[in-house]
Structure 1
Amino acid sequence: MYSHDTFGLGHLRRSRTIAHALVTHFPGVEVSIISGSPVVSAYPFEDRVEYVQIPAARKLSDGSYVSANGIGTLDDTIAEREALISEAADRIDPQFVIVDKEPLGLAREMLATLTSLKERGATTVLGLRDVLDAPELLREEWNRKHILDHLEDLYDEIWIYGPGSFYNPLAGIDLSESLLSRTRYTGFLPRAVTDRDHGTDYGSGYVLITAGGGGDGYDLMSAALAAVKLGQTNDLDFLFVLGPFMTESQRFEMLARASGVENVRIVEFDANLEAIVANARAVIGMCGYNTFCEAMSFDKQVLFVPRTAPRREQTIRAHRAEEFGWVDVLDIEYAKNPHTFLASLKQLLRRPLPSEAVARPDLDGLSRICALTEILLDHRQETLASGEKLRAAGR
């Protein structure tokens, strides 16, 4: 599995969730996740799941990338990553490859390895979250990266980690009939609290405010804290999880502003967010893919305050979920008014649960991924067996 991980925690956590489902379903399978996340070592992994850490690259607010260590150039970092990816592929010699979100990898770093693995007979899948970006923005990005020049030959299937009734992330892309016939909707990826997850020390019944990795979460955190400090929610407890990528100055400011507020606790980072969401009374977040899936899996009242740049992914997902009756949505500019935020918070605690909506969220994604994997692996074995018969007949 390849997870480029240039911003936040979403790609790594999604890949980890899928990897754990695969090793649970297939007793003989081993999974290696190639990850550029600087915090990958903070997460526990199931037996038969390993990670290969590559140097981190960091995505800036304008959508460009830089080397995360601040020393070498981005080209140097990409070259090092590409070499490590190639070495890992040669060592592992995988039968099956799942690439998360970036079809050619960051700056095309997966292209040579994918081409080589395909030539060696590996089955390859491109896994995409339910929403990538606004159709016109995704079309411009894929044209600029020349992705369609390679997509047909590189991938056996495309998996979309959401239901077809929710959203088509490739609506702006002119896919061939061949690729369309090989595109599968899996449903959302459910989350659970397992024996692997450690217990939390935060109790239960709190309102959780989370911004995922936290790199772009300051506006939400600041606005939520301002609303709480109006003093009309003293009967509630609030747990703020800032995320590991919030800047030091923003982190310091949040801690200082929350000092002395008795019903507010601030946690800088906890890798066990599934248990934290499960124990919450309600959730306020930005509507990243993982936060969304966790809130739906544990059937929580949810208020989303999505970002709108550099991608429109979160706002598209949030408003689409609002249309289904699963969540409430508040624009960040309105959220900066503490009285408006407070009113939305009070409304949140009265709203129905997602499970009470007419159409419930489709959370069968992991079981469908395992079934799709089994089909592809069976097909691979049949192909190999046919090849052996042909070679034997030729002799």
Structure 2
Amino acid sequence: MDYPLPLPSGRQNGARVLIYSHDTFGLGHLRRSRAIANAIAEERADCSIVIISGSPVIGNFEFGSGVDYIRIPGVTKLPDGDYRSLNLNVNLDEAVGLRQDLILQAAQSFRPDVFIVDKEPTGFRGEVVPALDYLESQGCRRVLGIRDVMDEPALLVPEWERKGAKEILVRSYDEVWVYGLEDVYRPLDALDLPATVTDRITYTGYLRREVPPTPSLTRYPKITKQPFILVTTGGGGDGDDLIDWVISAYEHDADIEMPALIVFGPFVNRDMRRSFMERIARHPKLDAIAFDTKIEHLMQKAAAIVAMGGYNTFCEILSFDKRALIVPRTRPRLEQHIRAVAAERLGLASMLSDYDAARTPDRMALALKGLADQPRPSEVVIPGLLDGLDRVQERLKSLLDIEQPFMAPRQAAE
């Protein structure tokens, strides 16, 4: 019987992938890691994937067969930009030390063939560096996966210098996967990386999303039985301004034809949500729900989407071919603004920003009215736009040096 070539770990079959999800704030990193893990598991039946995450809501999401997760103690970002332990009554240094030990222990016990690190080369405050060093000694392939836009160069360069991220990237990673297109944005250009690193960069295209096979358990309001605008802020921890702006537009202009459904997200401030709900209850064209882990169903139903323009939501707008208005956050980072500018330049979405103009109700009302006549993303032909998961599969196969798919059952003894 012919077997594939040995895996980096020495196993003959049953590859293992470990994914570190940088998750100190919001849902973006977790949802991206989950999409990649589920795609790998669906393509490779004998592959096992473990996601390491500190997200407090990871257990609310469904994962494909072959995918599981390890929940490490969470940390959260404070309004002043600092961090603290999310639940434990310990200082931040002790929380990071515990997370670091658990990540290393997971690497030692799971023995992955490929380690995919999301966004931060060193992890949160350097917590993945010991695991990177250990896995290098074991022949594990190490990949840094980053979104299409990181931040404006003036902030990204000093941040990476402070963290020692560039040094770790050069020293510790076999490949870099940029989940976007080179023609849209080159997120690492400002770092002046050596050719030995730039040669390892693959632009995969954006990560296509699908509607979950099982229905959502969330009960949708009656407003969704007609054409409606879906307003989503992702995790919701920084979406107050967008929600307020949309509500203000409906309060200001009775001629906005399509109603809007607002999804707050799990991290919205409770007092702010209560205030919003009081205003929404008074308007016949507005309704809201707290959170939906399968928001893809709502996205597919919606006539148009209004969002802040985080990476995952942008992928969903493209995947479900929705007319979209992106209202990017401009503080403390310009990541969403940079992405929104590129999307509008390419004709994939429209943008409304308070970066250079006032956040007035009439501006939002005019933008909402324009959504009905806006072209869909599919009307713009951009080669490779949504090929991200296919390219990830190709690079994974190359890293594992495998000549046939993982379809043989795991042997009892290795």
TM-score normalised per structure 1: 0.92
Following TM superposition, the consecutive aligned residue runs of length 4 or more in structure 1 with deviations greater than 4 angstroms are none
Counterpart in the other structure of 1:122 = 140
3-state SS of 2:287 partner: strand
Residue type of the partner of 2:66?
R
Give the superposition deviation at 1:276. 1.3
Aligned to 2:160: 142
Match of 1:372 in 2: 395
Distance in 2 between residues matched to 1:278 and 1:287, nearest whole Å: 17
Deviates more, 1:343-352 or 1:371-380: 371-380
After superposing the two structures, state which structure 1 stretch, 92-101 or 79-88, moved more. Answer: 79-88
Contact 2:256 2:365 in 1 (8 A): no
Check the 8 A contact 1:305/1:335 in 2, yes or no: no
CA distance in 2, matches of 1:366, 1:34: 20
Q: Which residue of the partner structure matches residue 79 of structure 1?
A: 97
Report the AA paired with residue 349 of structure 1: A
Of stretches 325-334 and 370-379 in structure 1, the one that deviates more from structure 2 is 325-334
Structure 1 Cα separation of the partners of residues 393 and 29 of structure 2? 19
Tell me which amino acid in the other structure corresponds to 2:360: N
Contact 1:4/1:35 (<8 A) preserved: yes
Output one character per residue of 1:266-293: Cα deviation in whole Å (capped at 9) or x when no partner. Answer: 1111111111111110000100001101
In structure 2, relative to structure 1, the CA distance for the partners of 1:93 and 1:233 (3 Å cut) is farther
Query: SS of the counterpart of 1:188?
Result: coil
The one of 348, 356, 373 aligned to 1:350: 373
Change (3 A) 1:156 1:149: same
SS of the residue 2:146 aligns to:
strand
Q: Deviations over 1:204-254 (max 9, x none)?
A: 531000000011000000110111123524642211001111111111111
Q: List aligned pairs for 1:217-256, cutoff 5 A.
A: 217-233=239-255, 235-256=257-278
Q: CA RMSD in A?
A: 1.8
CA contact (8 A) 2:45 2:66 kept: no
Equivalent pairs, count:
381
- 1:123–1:376 Cα contact (<8 Å) kept: yes
Instruction: State how 1:1-395 maps to structure 2 within 5 Å.
Output: 1-69=19-87, 71-198=89-216, 201-202=219-220, 203=224, 205-233=227-255, 235-332=257-354, 334=357, 336-359=359-382, 362-378=385-401
Shift of 1:256: 1.2
Letter of the structure 1 residue corresponding to residue 133 of structure 2: T
Matching residue's letter, 2:261: L
Note the C-alpha offset of 1:54: 0.7
Query: Relative to structure 1, is the Cα distance of residues 180 and 23 closer, same or farther in structure 2, using a 3 angstrom cutoff?
Result: same
Once the two structures are superposed, what CA deviation does each residue of 1:63-118 show, in whole Å capped at 9, x if it has no partner?
A: 32222227321111101111211221122111111000011110000000111011
Q: Distance in 2 between matches of 1:90 and 1:194?
A: 33
CA distance in structure 2 between the partners assigned to 1:183 and 1:380 by the alignment: 23
Q: Give the 3-state SS of the residue equivalent to 2:265 in structure 1.
A: coil
Displacement after TM superposition at 1:123 (Å)? 0.7
Structure 1: segments with no counterpart, 5+ residues: 382-395
Greater RCO (CA < 8 Å, at least 6 residues apart): 2
Select between 137-146 and 194-203 the one with higher mean Cα deviation: 194-203
Q: Indicate the percent of aligned positions where both proteins have the same amino acid.
A: 42
Q: Which runs of 5+ in 2 are unaligned?
A: 1-18, 405-414
Deviation at 1:379, TM superposition (A): 6.7
**Offset of residue 262 of structure 1:** 2.1
Greater CA deviation, 3-12 or 187-196? 187-196
